[in-house]
A and B are shown apart, each in its own frame.
Chain A
Amino acid sequence: MEEEKTDMKTTFRRTGLALVALSAAAPAWAQDPVELTFLVDNGPPSVAQAEALAAAYTELNPHVTFDIELRVGSIDGDNLVKTRLATEEMADIFLYNSGSLFQALAPTRTIVELTDQPFLDVVSDSFEAVVTADGGVYGVPIGPGFAGGIMYNRAIYDELGLEVPLTWDDFMANNAAIDEAGYVPIAQTYGDTWSAQLLVLGDYFNVEADSPGFAERYTNNEAKFATDPAALRSFERLEEAYEAGYFNEDFGAATYDDGIRMIATGEAAHYPILSLAIDPIAEQYPDAVPDIGFFAQPGDDPDKNGLTIWLPNALYVPQASENIDEAVDFLAFVASQAGCQAQIDAGQVSGPYLIEGCQLPEDVPQATRDLVPYFNDSDLNLPALEFLSPVKGPALPQLTVEVGSGIRSAAEAAAIYDEDVKKAAQQLGLPNW
């Protein structure tokens, strides 16, 4: 017992000495081992990206290791991130949404600003815009960009000799032919209500094409879904698709997983969804991947065909971190070509990256290849409304389910949605509301 105590004392003394030695060698601090904590959501792509980046960075900087922690997604995840930021218990680096959810983190008070960092030069401007608060930039992109549009089964298109439609009328004509041939023209999965919004949200490129500056006027309470004909068209298209009877029979109860199955196995020809649905297809139906393609939701004018894109999540460093320098250096790596390559090597190829000069390899899935031309030409893509305007109402999933099920007319739903966003805008304290 007595011996043990002495042992303990010597250990303490030794640690003390070691600490003194450490502080004496201060200039060499960069080489002292550092463990960075890294909080990511539990989606398989996020985990794969984070692990690939951490491993690649540690290879270049052996003194830095990572402790990757997973968190739940959805509303619990949002609360968790806010709680940990408020209590200064956030990990050294964390992954979170860009756009309006990022704004809700009070970034100027909680997150390290990156505005003057040279590594931001290669980050695409459209991404920087969605991690900007009060003129400062706060995050770097992780993972590929993605899009909202129509995923389609190329085998069915080949069999029926159809072409990718550039206008809504062509699209409906294709649907008629597909219906004739006995396939489901459009898969809808209202069991997961978020998936019902895609025909409306993915239509935003067309809204902006027909009604330039809609996002800004919308934010300023000058334009409305119910009164702007171009915006109302988004709801009307959903209504038309329902009225034509092109949905799968169980559309009210089917889930996102059913949608994946229908499009991958050739039960359905179109599935309006986010392009990252190619990841679960590759996981569950690897043989179907070459048969799956993706096109932008068509509008009324074939000359104005473009894609509504979603910007990827971002990595941030909290101000409360004890390893800000190392964490920011890691962000520099993430925003570099090497970081981008590390993610591509880990098989993260569901869409193009928003880092300048980062090329996808040749053998990416067809659905990803279909996105590249849109992403490469800034005239052919536009971020979704939720990235351009902070105004988004919570009832959109329910309203689109109602329109898509014939319970409510498009005009009525658009009017109710305008009321819904009013509350959200007032909560944000926007002017003119």
Chain B
Amino acid sequence: MSQTHTTFRAAEARRRWIGGAVAILVTGVVFVLPFLFALLQASKTQADASTLSFSWPTEWQLWSNLVAVIQVRDYQLLLAFFNSTVITVASVTGLVVFASMVGYILQRRQSRWNGLINFLVLAGLMIPPAVVPTIWLLQQLELFKTLHGMVLIEIAYNLSFSILLYRAFVATIPRELDEAARMDGAKPWQTFFRVIFPLLKPVTVTNIVVQSIAIFNDFVNPLYYLPGKDNVTVQLTLYNFQSQFETQYNLLFSNVLLVTIPPLIVFVFFNRQIVAGMTAGAVKG
């Protein structure tokens, strides 16, 4: 009897071990291999990298490639990092503040405007924005070719999605909390910022992660709405090394590495908060 029990537990342990190994293997193939590939290409000479083979570099020049990428076009990459960071941080902040407020009101207060507002939110998701009229508008507001204009564009384009996330989540917060706050004498804005907003932390974290990746990686919008040499963003710098007739893969991949690493570091450091935020929400619901 006890022997069968032991074999059963041993089988269970083995199954878990195999499951874990498979998971690690899949993670390795999906995440680590591409990274290694980029790292290897970034270490090669141009002729060596042009074959794009998964092979050991004949000559290691990772450092000189990285330096070349940073120095290219008068240290453009550093400027691009500054611009991208400003745009991402400012837009995500704006998105979180505005979308949470809209989502809260839309869910809590029923009025005859709700239908129209919901329609507009959905329209924001479904109707692709037209580029030229948007630029005309920006020109009239004197926001074209400015970082704050770009921030407003990113907020406007991504607001709908964030509102939907918030609205769905607010529905899970009991109305009694609002009422209790009201009984204790909280003004409406205090109810929101001191009672509700902290409870929205899980969905706020989701929003920050999803939107900052989307905005940091955005290529098309900065291309059209933020022209000019001084307004370059990191995704646009990749095109310094890539064109139809000639691509410098070693420098391209060095640039990819440099562009990928900062968000990677941020997520490694804030991993605990991100996971904590998500699971906290799961328990509270």
- Residues on A close to B: CB < 8 A? 41-45, 67-74, 76, 79-80, 83-84, 86-87, 89, 194, 255-258, 260-261, 274, 276-277, 279-280, 283-285
Known A-B contacts A43-B243, A44-B246, A70-B240; A87 and B132 likewise in contact (beta carbons under 8 Å): yes
Question: Do B245 and A83 have beta carbons less than 8 Å apart?
Answer: no
Pick from B51, B220, B236: contact of A257, CB below 8 A.
Answer: B51
Give residues in B with beta carbon < 8 Å to A.
Answer: 46-47, 50-52, 73, 131-132, 135-136, 139, 144-145, 220, 223-224, 227-229, 236, 239-240, 242-249
Contact A73 B243 (CB under 8 A): yes
Among B144, B245, B246, contact of A89 (Cβ-Cβ < 8 Å): B144
- B75 CB to nearest A CB, Å: 15
**12 residue pairs A–B, Cβ–Cβ below 8 Å:** A68-B229, A73-B244, A80-B223, A83-B224, A87-B135, A194-B244, A256-B245, A260-B50, A261-B50, A261-B51, A277-B245, A283-B46
In the complex, which of the residues B73, B224, B236 has the most CB atoms of chain A within 10 Å of its own CB atom? Answer: B224
B244 partner residues in chain A, CB cutoff 8 A: 43, 73-74, 194
Write out the residue numbers on chain B whose beta carbons fall within 8 Å of the beta carbon of A284. Answer: 46-47, 50
Distance between Cα atoms of A268 and B16 in the complex (Å): 53
Rounded to whole angstroms, the CA-CA distance of A209 and B9 in the bound complex is 84
Number of A-B contacts (CB under 8 A): 78
Q: A42-B240, A89-B139, A261-B51 are in contact. List 19 more A-B contacts (CB 8 A).
A: A43-B243, A44-B243, A45-B245, A45-B246, A70-B229, A79-B131, A80-B224, A83-B131, A83-B135, A83-B224, A84-B227, A87-B136, A87-B139, A89-B227, A257-B247, A276-B245, A279-B246, A284-B47, A285-B47
Contacts of B224 in A (CB 8 A): 79-80, 83
Residues of B within 8 A of A86 (CB): 132
Are B245 and A257 in contact (CB-based, < 8 A)? no
Residue of A68, A72, A257, A261 touching B239 (CB-CB under 8 A): A72
Complex-state Cα separation, A46 to B46, whole angstroms: 19
A67 adjacent to B229 (CB under 8 Å) = yes
- For B134, give the chain A residue with the smallest CB separation: A87
- Chain A: CB-nearest residue to B52: A257
Bound-state CA distance A256–B136 (Å) is 40
CB of A75 to closest CB in B, whole Å: 11
Q: Please determine whether B228 and A257 come into contact, CB atoms closer than 8 angstroms.
A: no
Contact present for A279 and B223 (CB under 8 Å) = no
Known: A72-B239, A285-B47. A280 touches B246 (CB 8 A): yes
Complex contact B242–A42 (CB within 8 A): yes
Q: Bound complex: CA of A154 vs CA of B187, how far in Å?
A: 85
Shortest beta-carbon distance from A149 to chain B in Å: 16
Known contacts A43-B246, A280-B246; A69 and B239 CB within 8 A of each other = no
Chain B residues contacting A74 (CB-CB under 8 Å) are 244
- B227 — which chain A residues lie within 8 A by C-beta? 69, 80, 84, 89
Q: How far is the CA of A83 from the CA of B73 in the complex (A)?
A: 25
CA distance A22 to B179 in the complex (A): 68
Q: Nearest CB to that of B133 among chain A residues?
A: A87
Residues in B whose Cβ lies below 8 Å from that of A70 = 73, 229, 239-240
Contact B243 A41 (CB under 8 A): yes
Question: A67-B229, A70-B240 are known contacts. Are A280 and B245 too (CB-CB below 8 A)?
Answer: yes
Find out whether the CB atom of A83 lies under 8 angstroms from the CB atom of B243: no
The residue on B at minimum CB distance from A286 is: B47
Compute how far the CA of A42 lies from the CA of B246 in the bound complex, rounded to whole angstroms.
10
A285: chain B residues at CB < 8 Å are 47
Contact residue among A42, A68, A79, A261 (Cβ-Cβ distance under 8 Å from B243) = A42
